[in-house]
Chains A and B, each alone.
Chain A
Amino acid sequence: MIEAFVILVTIVVMGIVLAAVRTGTLREKYAALWIVIAVAVLVLAVFPSLLTVLAVWFGVQVPSNLLFAAAIILLLGVSLQLSLTVSMLESHTRTLAEEVALLHAAVKRLQDMNQ
């Protein structure tokens, strides 16, 4: 039952991500990570024994802890990527704002000259 629920949620999330990429509201470079995560969760939901195998292989005693650790690392990566992106956007808007201010002054000077 729980497997069915996880599979359903994963498919819905994947559908939303893909639809967003199609309509251009989500850039492919940000969607990629979410799709990878969704596929991984889907595989684990279909073959739950895989998690136990992985846990033994990694030397983790409780399989669910492997899942939690992986989730934390992935989310850390995502939020770091977002911080980097926000910083980049900030520097872009800053440059644009500077150009707007310069252009605004230049336009006003031209208008004053023509009057």
Chain B
Amino acid sequence: MRDSLKVLVIMPAWNEAVVIGDTLAALRKSMPDLDVLVVNDGSTDNTAQIAAEAGATVLTLPYNMGVGGAMRLGYKYAYRNGYDQAIQLDADGQHDPADIAKILDGLDHADISIGARFADAGAYKVHGPRKWAMTILAWAISRLARTHLTDTTSGFRACNRRGIEQYVDNYPAEYLGDTIESLVLAIRAGCTVTQVPVSMKPRQGGSPSNGPLKSTVYLIRAVFALLINMTKPVGGRLS
């Protein structure tokens, strides 16, 4: 079934020159037929050049907009170029390209398919406020989506044409907009969600966002993002 579909891999990248070459090579090796779009989010290194040389289509944003902004551009590209499905993939190699097929299979029975990091596969662990935030979010969004979700902040997710259209209309560019906000708005616009267990690899480079203070701020902003998005008006052609 997938052979006839146009599928786009969207990879937001901000100063990922160290790792993006390997990530794209691994992607090409395991999924050679997929179109790859790298959204260069105002990088100051040669991320764009490396990505282009690896055969990806590159869109360069004139300044850094954050993952949410980069993703919205990615979905806009997918929408305008008539893609049937789109899947997000991190540039830092944390997402295993071998899981792509599994996540895309999830789209057979839902509009959005999330690669969940806790669902039995791999050894992804978090602690403290960040864990509480993820637990609260997973519980609240599961209720909203009327399905059991364990990892709602995963950036490893795919959506079908309906999801792409919805994202272009509602895709938020706020803090955490790329994960929570986009998901809540999509569910409220009528999209269905499913999750697929995936494993997470350690980052190949760059620094992870951690520390107790940062995690607490994350918790507060995450809960705020959740609450505000429950009340946001949902526009677009679906609602």
B residues 71-105 in Cβ contact with A at 8 Å: 72-73, 76-77, 80
Name which residue of chain A comes closest to B80, CB basis. Answer: A102
Asked whether, in the complex, the Cβ of A98 is within 8 Å of the Cβ of B73, the reply is: yes
Chain B residues lying within 8 Å of A91, measured Cβ to Cβ, are 173
Asked whether, in the complex, the Cβ of A101 is within 8 Å of the Cβ of B62, the reply is: yes
Name which residue of chain B comes closest to A93, CB basis. Answer: B63
Bound together, the chains give a CA A102 to CA B39 distance in angstroms of: 10
CB within 8 A of B76: which of A98, A100, A104?
A: A98
Question: Size of chain B's interface in residues, with CB distance under 8 A?
Answer: 16
Asked whether, in the complex, the Cβ of A97 is within 8 Å of the Cβ of B77, the reply is: no
- A103 nearest CB across to chain B (Å): 10
Bound together, the chains give a CA A105 to CA B51 distance in angstroms of: 13
Question: Size of chain A's interface in residues, with CB distance under 8 A?
Answer: 9
Asked whether, in the complex, the Cβ of A105 is within 8 Å of the Cβ of B65, the reply is: no
Bound together, the chains give a CA A94 to CA B76 distance in angstroms of: 13
Bound together, the chains give a CA A104 to CA B77 distance in angstroms of: 13
Name which residue of chain B comes closest to A103, CB basis. Answer: B59
Bound together, the chains give a CA A97 to CA B72 distance in angstroms of: 11
Decide if the interface of chain B is mainly helix, strand, loop or mixed.
Answer: mixed
Bound together, the chains give a CA A100 to CA B76 distance in angstroms of: 13
Chain A residues lying within 8 Å of B58, measured Cβ to Cβ, are 105
Cβ-based interface call for B60 (8 A): yes
Bound together, the chains give a CA A101 to CA B62 distance in angstroms of: 7
Name which residue of chain A comes closest to B58, CB basis. Answer: A105
Cβ-based interface call for B61 (8 A): yes
Name which residue of chain B comes closest to A100, CB basis. Answer: B62
Interface string of B40-72 (1 = CB under 8 A from A): 000000000000000001111111010001001
Interface string of B148-168 (1 = CB under 8 A from A): 000000000000000000000
Contacts A94-B65, A97-B65 given; indicate if A102 touches B77 (C-beta within 8 A).
Answer: yes
Chain B residues lying within 8 Å of A98, measured Cβ to Cβ, are 61, 69, 72-73, 76
Bound together, the chains give a CA A102 to CA B57 distance in angstroms of: 11
Chain B residues lying within 8 Å of A105, measured Cβ to Cβ, are 57-60
Chain A residues lying within 8 Å of B39, measured Cβ to Cβ, are 101
Name which residue of chain B comes closest to A105, CB basis. Answer: B59
Choose among A91, A94, A98, A105 the residue with the greatest number of B CB atoms under 10 Å from its CB.
A98
Can you offer 14 A-B residue contacts whose CB atoms are under 8 A?
A94-B69, A94-B173, A97-B63, A97-B65, A97-B69, A98-B69, A98-B72, A98-B73, A101-B59, A102-B73, A102-B76, A102-B77, A105-B57, A105-B59
Give 7 new A-B contacts, CB below 8 A, not counting A97-B61, A101-B73, A102-B77: A94-B65, A97-B63, A101-B59, A102-B59, A102-B73, A102-B80, A104-B59
Instruction: Write the residues of chain A forming the contact surface with B, with a CB cutoff of 8 angstroms.
Output: 91, 94, 97-98, 100-102, 104-105
